[in-house]
Amino acid sequence: MSGCIVVPVRLFATLLILLSIALPAQAAPTPAYQARAEELLRLLTSPGDEAAYFSPLFLDVVPVDRWRAVAADLRAQHGKPLALGAVRQDSATAGQVEIRYERAMVGFTLVVAPQPPGRVVGLRIVGARTANDNMAKVMADIAALPGTTSFAVAALGDGPPQLREAHRADAAMAIGSSFKLTILAELARAVAAGERRWSDVIPLEAKSFSGRLLHWPDRAPMTLHSLATAMIAESDNSATDTLLLALGRDKVDAMLATTGHANPDLALPLLTTAEAFALKMPANADLRGRFTTASVDTRRALLREAAPRLTADKVDVGSVAEAPTAIEEVEWFASATDMIAQLDWLRIHGGDALPIMAIEPGIAPADAKRWAYLGYKGGSEPGVMAMNFLARRKDGQWRAISASWNNPAARLDEARLVALMTRALNLLSE
């Protein structure tokens, strides 16, 4: 998923520690450090001369094209860079720089080499503050996205979730890989019931068409915990399909009602990733037509009968990678309130599933750290994007946030929804 606004730099944390220990803090920047801060404003505004600004160490890890993509992403989220804000130098070579954009103030940690010409060896975005923002503005921007959107925020406590913000919260939406939370919920239930253990080992045998585990040996032994981690933190499709079939499709399907889905028949049976994308293939147009108009029981029968046509090797990834394909017919469907109910179920019953959900926060780490806990699972394919967060504020209050964006006519600018959800989460954390 695009939208990450952190520039990773090798040895960056070590450099910061060593450089900050080396010399006492000095609030006023030196002329050389101030000059690098001013040049950062220029580079964020338009590309050019990166090799003269960044050290080879930096560019080895973040090539020029990657840097320019990050700078463009910041402009897409926050508007044009307008001016240099505060510059604070914390040591001889490290400090903090603020850049004022049209819609936000963005903070950076900037580290320069001590040797002339003092090129930049470390740069990291540490947060963004959107000017004069509020939830009404965020919701209006979500509603204005092309296509259809759904968004909801709920306070979680002893009773049912209490909606605080809602835009088409009950509308059924395609949610992509967000359905993997249902598999995680069934695994958590089975562990709590003593039917499974996180340390149980099963073979990796339901290979799908993408993901890291696709390239692992067939039937490689995997713990349920390792598969769940790959499924949630990496959205690995092979891990997903292996878990879905190993836990039992009927049991996973039953978790939709257990976790509060208002209309399970709309989403059942839950497809493996291989089945879903095989059904989207042109060669399976006839099967897809029968599947989408059938009852749940007939759909189950069709999956059994057509199993040889619905394997990962039947998926031509290129045919579904560029444009939305049957996203209103073959997908995983839920509303924002359905997703919030599922997140609340996991909050209460998830146990060791909660740390798995927190591995990949879905937004920039600096923004994620505003929360005491932030669990996340999203999903995306051309025309579909969803983001779901289970969050605990530092005052102990829990929130669930869910957004979906569908457009069967065009690809989505995923960075826009990441930026909107980052704004929402920053406001809700306060």
**How big, in percent rounded to 5, are the helix, strand and coil portions of the chain?**
45, 20, 35
DSSP bridge partners of 90: none
Contacts of 190 (CB under 8 A, 6+ apart): 196, 247, 251
pTM (two decimals): 0.79
* Edge-first strand listing for the sheet containing 94-101: 81-89, 94-101, 104-112, 120-130
Please name the amino acid found at residue 122.
G
Which range has the worst mean pLDDT, 86-90, 97-101, 341-345, 405-409? 86-90
A 10 A CB-CB count for 197 gives 12
Q: What percent of the chain has pLDDT over 70?
A: 93
pLDDT value at position 1? 34
Pick from 362, 369, 347: nearest CA to 417: 362
Per-residue pLDDT tens over the stretch 126-185: 777 777 889 999 999 999 999 999 999 999 999 999 999 999 999 999 999 999 999 999
Rounded to whole angstroms, how far apart are CA atoms 292 and 229?
31
Per-residue pLDDT tens over the stretch 329-341: 999 999 999 999 9
Residue 146 token pair? 């092309």
Rounded to whole angstroms, how far apart are CA atoms 374 and 114?
37
- Which of helix, strand or coil describes residue 391? strand
Residue 365 token pair? 């780490």
Rounded to whole angstroms, how far apart are CA atoms 258 and 274?
25
Pick from 127, 115, 108, 129: nearest CA to 39: 108
Per-residue pLDDT tens over the stretch 206-226: 999 888 999 999 999 999 999
Where residue 25 falls among pLDDT bands split at 50, 70, 90?
very low
Cβ–Cβ under 8 Å, residues 367 and 243? no
Residue 8 token pair? 């990773």
Residue 427 token pair? 């406001």
Cβ–Cβ under 8 Å, residues 109 and 126? yes
Helix ranges (DSSP H) in 91-236: 135-143, 180-192, 224-233
Please name the amino acid found at residue 184.
L
Where residue 54 falls among pLDDT bands split at 50, 70, 90?
very high
Pick from 183, 276, 273, 204: nearest CA to 237: 273
Residue 342 token pair? 């599922």
Residue 362 token pair? 């879905």
DSSP-derived secondary structure letter, 146: S
Where residue 103 falls among pLDDT bands split at 50, 70, 90?
confident
pLDDT value at position 355? 98
Rounded to whole angstroms, how far apart are CA atoms 170 and 164?
14
The answer to whether residue 324 scores a pLDDT higher than 70 is yes
Rounded to whole angstroms, how far apart are CA atoms 147 and 181?
25
Indicate the average pLDDT of the chain.
90
- Which of helix, strand or coil describes residue 196? coil
The answer to whether residue 9 scores a pLDDT higher than 60 is no
Rounded to whole angstroms, how far apart are CA atoms 188 and 202?
16
pLDDT value at position 122? 92
